[in-house]
Amino acid sequence: MTGRDTMYRIAVLSYHTSPLAPLGGRDTGGLNVYVRELTRELAERGHHVDVFTRRTDPDAPEIVAIAAPSARLVHIAAGPPRELEKEALPTHLDAFEAGVAAFAERERLAYDVLHSHYWLSGVVGERLKVRWGVPHIAMFHTLGEVKSRARISEREPAPRIEAERAIVRNADRIVACGRDERQLLMRLYGADPGRISVVPCGVNLDLFQPIAKAEARHQLGLRDDDRILLFVGRIEPLKGVDILLGAAAQLEAEPDCFVLVIGGDSSAREGEMAHLRDLASQLGIAERVSFLGAVDHERLPLFYSAADVCVVPSFYESFGLVALEAMACGTPVVASRVGGLIGTVRDGETGYLIPWRCPEPFAERLDLLLGNEELRRAFGQSAREAVQRYRWGNVAEAVLAIYRELIEGAPAKGRAAFRN
């Protein structure tokens, strides 16, 4: 059997959130999609994948199939079996590590490689790496130092940043989802560039396909001649929904345009959702903004296709799956010039990148696009073409090349789809 054909047994750590959790909640979004899609692709290629997550439901079975027969989700008891506040999560890392180790021992499983997601899992990955003597690949998804610098109101706790520094020092490989994250890892964390691999995230091109706008709007009960701006994501200050609302209130070309906000709990009376509702009222656009709450991932193509523009006004976005999904549906994207968005949205070709975090420049670009149907169509078409290389199969091949390199000492191949 050649090295390329070897099937690996992969332990994936997703301590703080499950790849099967409903999306669009407070803490469920891109990371969950990433773990789920990558796991499926690896299983499709015959690899055995066990994804370990903290048990949050006392009645859930210990093992749930993600992709039969070789990819499983394993619930590990660590702390109370319910959702916990983020601050309480570090307390139960020891129990989680012990639970994963006990599972492997009981099942007599020897993993070839560990792949951790987010710093909490990275901490456990570092410990299990020592225990099992296998390579550890860490992916942060967000970095505490970057979050703290992105918006004045954000302050990440020092223990998180210290833990991230230790992971950066010791992990066999860090997967960064773009060049920007690679630079930040080097500049803010002193990472060794030789141990960083850049692999972008992906998009499910079978699910995210253009649907004729009239058809999508008909299915959603939206009017044909309205102008519609769409936001999709977790509802938290870093996502910059306030910038979108500010921009919508300033539009000149289409003062009557509507804003759909997808994500979060639409009925929430507290926190960021309440703040955004108040803001829409203060701006005098409350009747033109709909907070729809979380929407099933599988239904999102309808919304992306129905929208004229998808807006991603984030203060910080390590990758930004939503932009790719919108582009895959042939919808132009107006996004902040941050993180992975710099690599995915092509300014003046598939949308616009805005270097400032304030409503005015967003309004200016949105006016331009909303007032020009031909431009929207051209951008949308380029967008669908531009995302082709981001299929999850390409992501899996690039990640497998890293596994292969670390397990077998073979030089990493197979990243061609992402070399540009």
Question: Which 303-362 residues touch ligand UDP, going by CB under 6 A?
Answer: 319-322, 325
Give least dist CB 340 to ligand UDP, A: 8
- In the bound state with ligand UDP, the residue whose beta carbon lies nearer, of 2 and 267, is 267
> What are 36's two structure tokens?
């789920």
Question: Which 242-281 residues touch ligand UDP, going by CB under 6 A?
Answer: 262-263
Binds ligand UDP by CB under 6 A, chosen from 117, 129, 234, 288: 234
Beta bridge partners of 13: 52, 116
135/112 Cα distance (integer angstroms): 8
Q: Is residue 229 involved in binding ligand UDP (CB under 6 A)? A: no
Binds ligand UDP by CB under 6 A, chosen from 120, 232, 345, 386: 232
Binds ligand UDP by CB under 6 A, chosen from 8, 11, 30, 277: 30
420/260 Cα distance (integer angstroms): 34
208/206 Cα distance (integer angstroms): 6
Q: Which residues of 351-377 are buried (b: 16+ CB within 10 A; e: fewer)?
A: bbbbeebebebbbbbbbebbeeeeebe
Give least dist CB 318 to ligand UDP, A: 7
Burial class of residue 419 (count of CB atoms within 10 Å of its CB; 0-12, 13-18, 19+): exposed
Binds ligand UDP by CB under 6 A, chosen from 16, 17, 19, 29: 29
360/366 Cα distance (integer angstroms): 10
String of contacts with ligand UDP for each residue 32-71, x by CB under 6 A: -x--------------------------------------
Contact window for ligand UDP (CB under 6 A) among 12-20, 35-43, 289-297, 400-408: 289-297
- In the bound state with ligand UDP, the residue whose beta carbon lies nearer, of 245 and 294, is 294
What 3-state class would DSSP assign to 213?
A: helix
Give least dist CB 202 to ligand UDP, A: 10
> What are 346's two structure tokens?
């092509």
Are 262 and 232 in contact by the 8 Å Cβ rule? The answer is yes
CA dihedral sign, ordered 20, 26, 27, 30: positive
Q: Is residue 300 involved in binding ligand UDP (CB under 6 A)? A: yes
Q: Is residue 200 involved in binding ligand UDP (CB under 6 A)? A: no
Binding residues vs ligand UDP (CB under 6 A)? 23-24, 29-31, 33, 232-234, 262-263, 294-295, 297, 300, 319-322, 325
